[in-house]
A and B are shown apart, each in its own frame.
Chain A
Amino acid sequence: MTVSRRDFIKHCAAAAAVTSLPLGLSRSTEAANAAPLTATALDASLEWGKAPCRFCGTGCGVMVGVKDGKVVSVAGDELNPVNKGLLCIKGYSLPGILYGEDRLTTPQIRNNGKLKDATWDEALDLVANKFKESVDQHGPKSVAMYGSGQWTITDGYAALKWFKGGIGSNNVEANARLCMASAVTGFITTFGADEPMGCYDDFEKADAFVLWGNNMAEMHPVLFSRLLERRRKASWVKIHDMATRRTPTTEWADVHYSMEPQSDLAIANAIARIIINTGRYDKKFINEHTVFKSGKENIGYGLEDNFNFKDAPKAMTFAEYSKYVQKYTPAHVEEISGIPAAKIKQLAEVYADKFTKVVSLWCMGMNQHNRGTWINNLVYNLHLLTGKICAPGNNPLSLTGQPSACGTVREVGTLAHRLPSDMVVMKPRHREIAANIWGVPISNINPKPGYNTVEMFRAFDRGDIKVMWTQTTNPMVSMPNLIRYREGAQKDGRFLVVSEIYPTPTTEVADVVLPAAMWVEREGMFGNTERRTQQWNKLVDPPGEAKSDAWQTIEVAKRMGYADLFKYGEQTYERELFEEYRQFTLGTGHDLGTYDQYIAARGLRWPVVDGKETPWRYTSKYDPYVTKGKKIEFYSNKKTGGKAVVWARPYEPAPEVPDNEFPFWLCTGRVLEHWHTGSMTRRVPHLHRAVPEAYVEMNAKDAADNGIQDGEKVRVKSRRGELELKVVLNGKGKPRRGSVFVPFFDEGKLINEVTLDSYCPISKEPDYKKCAVKIEKLKAI
């Protein structure tokens, strides 16, 4: 029995792998012939269901195998066009993250400094009372909800509706503010609407890929294999890797550009200058589809409390814009960036050459940037000047880190100024639409935006916010300048509610902890990078008394007297919430399909019109929203008559740059093995063992100059905090001289006590990639 079962499983595994080989390759073996096209039939003794992966924004399709009420198997879903049957190494941790030994299973209330088990009724009543008391005594601005790009679509929608339609507070934010806000403001200022025009299908059509500070091989491995596969089939295809350190991506790139932090602003302008000065801009496209604008400059860094900024766009002509970029000569930009002028010209060719189809890709390198909105604008400029946009294989594509940063935070609009479907609280018409769908008076919706994330935690520290609820996120690891915010959360008169699946540094400072059901323990939906919305069904029971975030929010809202807003069935609330939310999207260009359509499909890319998805937007060939007779139209940009904006944005230095006292740049980021703050992946023993703790990557020459050896412990110190870490000189990443890299997943070594809480004044997204530190050798004991 054992032997045959073992062989059978091996056969299934091999067959699944063979069916996931790139299409077009011959599948010769018996295994392949015997393999059915759906993984569901691979092992009939298990029950199978489809779901998007719980981890990153790629949105790979997973077939989940259940035995005796437990998830025991995962297979890449070959019917899902995102990953065509493949998963990355994180994918195989999916069963593991559900079954960590210390899963939270009961509500807990802090009593005399200790968290003690409580019933759901006790916990929910307490939370509802605290919210009510605070709103009654200090007004709606004194409460806040801080959610996540890992929230399902309905989790986010329930929270938004309760806060904005019920309480009348706009203090709803999500951790996507820390990763995607600059992408959003970049899209909105350039195109008038959020999210990309292109999709992953661009990868199989492009001639060149330019990675702007993006370690795709580790952070988006499944997509990176699609790039490599494209290059294998088309030998002329080149991958350009621009970054502040060498990474596994560099190993497989054709050209590496080692750049100084912050210099991407200058590099993009230099490329624009070359395109213009060599006459290789697309005059017709520019005339028909673009306008030129400039905005305020020297805009600050958001370092002071209650920082405020409003841009003042001014129209400019193409001639004025051309003049504006003239100062970015390759020689001048070589000085700023450290990239030789000849190489800058080489990179410019990729964009300037009429026959090269180019896809630009980026993620946190450009978004977690004190000028995040600007650098997004500047990369769009390159595609707009050359007309290389809205065509298969020719597009900018902003990648996302979290599984539903797009679907939940950006589309539902769980941000301080937003309403669903790209609407904002500031506009009376938008408030009216929302109020009608919610059946509440328009006066319920506050026209003034709430606090953005950093300001929200500052307000919690000051006491302007008194009660805060966090769901599916771990701010006491992920906030920059962390010491201030952790101390703030523990001050007298603050009340923190945390919905979580495992104990974290955030639950440690919580007054109430609510156990959450996750991923296939409940029904849900995520929306990925390429506008693809995916649905899954509940496949196993959650442990103990854990419940979904949406359920928890609705129960508290009801106890506060907002039952009318949530008249849904106990079994059907997921579907009902979604169908209601969908009303916001119809006729807007963000149209979503029906719940049943998502049950049937392996995801659909919006706008979904008449049941049909839209792979490429703004082009008449694919997008039904383009006005008849037009080929391309940026129809969401009403202000400009359907045109995109080419922005004149300068290079400005970072707020804190290395000096004699703090001579190194510090950049933070993720590692392949861990998901974000590690609260899930550190519970998976093999992942924890593989990368048990944070470390600091240094350039070998810098280490030698400072007499530092590989493996030695050093102190990484900034003006705000310090941390002892082991030095890694020959790891996967090798920073350029003058900079160091530290991953942020380790709650035992909190690098965010060292980072700076500066942010992009337009997007309010913090810059986790740049501050100044010194590296001190520890004295031998």
Chain B
Amino acid sequence: MQADPPRLESVKQNIEQQIGAEIAEVVENFLVVVLETDDDRQMKERFDAIVNLPGVISANLAYYNTEDLAKNS
């Protein structure tokens, strides 16, 4: 995702504290965020919450995986 450069710090804080998502990487004003949820509904809600944060220019998806990990263990 892409943040407005002057608001980068607040975007980072909000993602970690408000949304509870993991920031895997920051390069300039680009952030790689990993979301893990129990179901797609939560995924969509958290994705939307990120998109709606002040200072977020755009959020795109690079990788999406759906697996029942409990079943695999």
Contact = CB atoms under 8 A, between A and B. Distances in A.
Nearest to B29: A232
Nearest to A22: B30
A19 B32 CA distance: 10
B25 A29 contact: yes
A686 B40 contact: yes
Contacts of A43: 65
A134 interface: no
A232 B22 CA distance: 25
Contact of B60 (A32, A86, A96): A86
Contact of B36 (A10, A92, A686): A10
Interface stretch (A216-224, A528-536, A637-645, A662-670): A216-224
B8 to A, nearest CB: 13
Interface in A52-109: 65, 67, 72-76, 85-89, 91-92, 95-96
A303 interface: no
Contact of A9 (B27, B58, B65): B65
Which of B39, B40, B61 has the most chain A CB atoms closer than 10 A to its own CB?
B61
A2 B67 CA distance: 11
A352 interface: no
B65 A252 contact: no
Given A228-B2, A685-B40, A28 B62 contact: no
B30 A85 contact: no
Contacts of A221: 58, 60
Interface in B26-73: 27-30, 32-34, 36, 39-41, 43-45, 47-48, 57-67, 69-70, 72-73
A116 interface: no
Contacts of A28: 25, 27
A141 to B, nearest CB: 47
B61 A86 contact: yes
A16 B41 contact: no
Contacts of B70: 2
A382 B29 CA distance: 36
Interface in A197-218: 217
A742 interface: no
A115 interface: no
A608 B48 CA distance: 41
A217 B63 contact: no
Contact of A25 (B30, B33, B66): B30
A690 B24 contact: no
A13 B60 contact: no
Contacts, number: 134
B61 A25 contact: no
Given A32-B25, A96-B40, A74 B64 contact: yes
Interface in A297-355: none
Indicate the size class of the contact surface on chain A: 35 or more
Contact of B65 (A26, A73, A76, A222): A73
Given A5-B69, A225-B2, A685-B41, A91 B61 contact: yes
Contacts of B41: 685-686, 689
Given A2-B73, A686-B40, A18 B25 contact: yes
Given A2-B73, A13-B34, A21 B63 contact: no
B36 to A, nearest CB: 7
B65 A21 contact: no
A14 B25 contact: yes
A17 B40 contact: no
A79 B31 CA distance: 21
Interface residues of B, number: 35
A427 interface: no
Contact of B25 (A12, A17, A42, A222): A17
A8 B68 CA distance: 14
B62 A17 contact: yes
Nearest to B44: A686
A259 interface: no
Contacts of B69: 2, 5-6
A376 to B, nearest CB: 28
A12 B66 contact: no
Contacts of A225: 2, 58, 60
A2 B22 CA distance: 19
Contacts of B47: 89
A606 B64 CA distance: 31
Contacts of B63: 12-13, 16-17, 39, 42, 73-76
B27 A26 contact: yes
A686 B64 CA distance: 14
A224 B59 CA distance: 11
A449 to B, nearest CB: 42
A13 B45 CA distance: 19
Contacts of B61: 76, 86-89, 91-92
A22 to B, nearest CB: 7
Contacts of A686: 39-41, 43-45
Nearest to B28: A25
B45 to A, nearest CB: 8
Contacts of B48: 690
Contact of A75 (B2, B36, B64, B72): B64
A228 B57 contact: yes
A283 interface: no
Which of A14, A19, A32, A87 has the most chain B CB atoms closer than 10 A to its own CB?
A14
Contacts of B58: 217, 221, 224-225, 228
B52 to A, nearest CB: 10
Contact of B34 (A1, A14, A73, A232): A14
A4 to B, nearest CB: 10
Contacts of A690: 44, 48
Which of B27, B29, B33, B34 has the most chain A CB atoms closer than 10 A to its own CB?
B27
A10 B45 CA distance: 19
B24 A1 contact: no
Interface of B: 2, 22, 24-25, 27-30, 32-34, 36, 39-41, 43-45, 47-48, 57-67, 69-70, 72-73
Interface of A: 1-2, 5-6, 9-10, 12-14, 16-22, 25-29, 31-32, 39, 42-43, 65, 67, 72-76, 85-89, 91-92, 95-96, 217, 221-222, 224-225, 228-229, 232, 252, 684-687, 689-690
22 contacts: A2-B72, A6-B69, A10-B24, A13-B63, A14-B32, A16-B62, A17-B63, A18-B32, A19-B62, A21-B27, A27-B27, A28-B25, A42-B63, A67-B67, A73-B66, A74-B63, A76-B60, A89-B59, A221-B60, A225-B60, A228-B2, A229-B2
Given A2-B72, A689-B41, 14 more contacts: A1-B73, A6-B69, A17-B33, A20-B60, A26-B27, A27-B27, A72-B66, A72-B67, A76-B63, A95-B66, A217-B58, A221-B60, A222-B60, A687-B44
